[in-house]
Amino acid sequence: MKEKDTAILLFHCPDRLGIVTEITKFITDNNGNIVYLDQYVDKLDHMFFMRVEWELDNFLIPADKISEYFDTLYCKRFDISFHLYFGNVKPRMAIFVSKMSHCLYDLLARYNAGELNVEIPCIVSNHEDLRYVAEQFGIPYYVWSINKDWSNKQEVEAAEMQMLRDLKVNFIVLARYMQIISDEMIASYPNRIINIHHSFLPAFVGAKPYHQAYQRGVKIIGATSHYVTAELDAGPIIEQDVVRITHKDTPDSLALKGKDLEKIVLSRAVKKHVERKVLTYKNKTIIFS
């Protein structure tokens, strides 16, 4: 059996007695060996959240039938919403970039070191500037320039989305991609577009957050990685971190300090997404350990 030959089930439902017993019984009755189980109860909303992973070696239900079985047995009974993944299937990640290289380099270095269990079929940009980085790692680099008046934006995104479908991309990472994603693309990848924003959201949304932080005189700055939604910089937050600053800092020094945070926070978020440890609910996330 391969090390990653497992099934991963993430679900949420109204909290009630017996859910854990029923789900674990379903797995063990079908010869599944549970290797991970984590759960959480939101007492305010009375909601139950769970991630369970089990080995598929000797599991009686074929992998392509597990979802159907689980749906039939439990979804209506417990009002469950679920996602099923398989540990031996590598997600295919597209990276979108503009001109800044720090987040791209960090992701590719971790990928090259085996820290991110993904495939990267493409890097997409609106500029030629970072082609040399893609070539260093042997990854195809595609450029679509968007006019300043956005007159070709719809055409460009249609071409990009067709390419993503052709390459069977599962999720997108915006590694300081300085373009607004259309509602159509967001709807095509719900909770599957990960962005890095260079502030501690919900503070300083939009453009030039380091300048906003400088003007406000804050004593910490942060970085936030979140899923992209139609509302700018307001999607479910996956990961955040902060660093202390002083009155001596300038917008330039804030940006320099922030770059270290940005790449670390983004990589942490991507890793959690790839490991299927993120469950979204009401524009928030449950992050399993």
Which positions are catalytic? Answer: 233
Residues 114 and 103: their CA atoms lie apart, in Å, by 17
For residues 252, 254, 257 and 260, what is the CA-based torsion angle, rounded to 10 degrees?
-90
Q: Which residues, in sequence order, are CB contacts of 109 under 8 Å at separation 6+?
A: none
- Work out whether strand 237-244 and strand 220-227 pair parallel, antiparallel, or are unpaired: antiparallel
Residue 101 · residue 128 · CB < 8 Å: no
Residue burial 235-273, b: 16+ Cβ < 10 Å; e: rest: bbbbbbebeebeeebeeeebbebbbebbbbbbbbbbbbb
Instruction: Please count the other Cβ atoms lying within 10 Å of the Cβ belonging to residue 227.
Output: 23
- Work out whether strand 171-174 and strand 119-125 pair parallel, antiparallel, or are unpaired: unpaired
Residue 139 · residue 167 · CB < 8 Å: no
Q: Which residues, in sequence order, are CB contacts of 134 under 8 Å at separation 6+?
A: 123, 140, 141
Q: Which helix (H) or strand (E) holds 21?
A: helix 19-29
- Work out whether strand 81-86 and strand 6-14 pair parallel, antiparallel, or are unpaired: antiparallel
Residue with tokens 């060996």: 33
263 backbone dihedrals φ, ψ, rounded to 5°? -70, -35
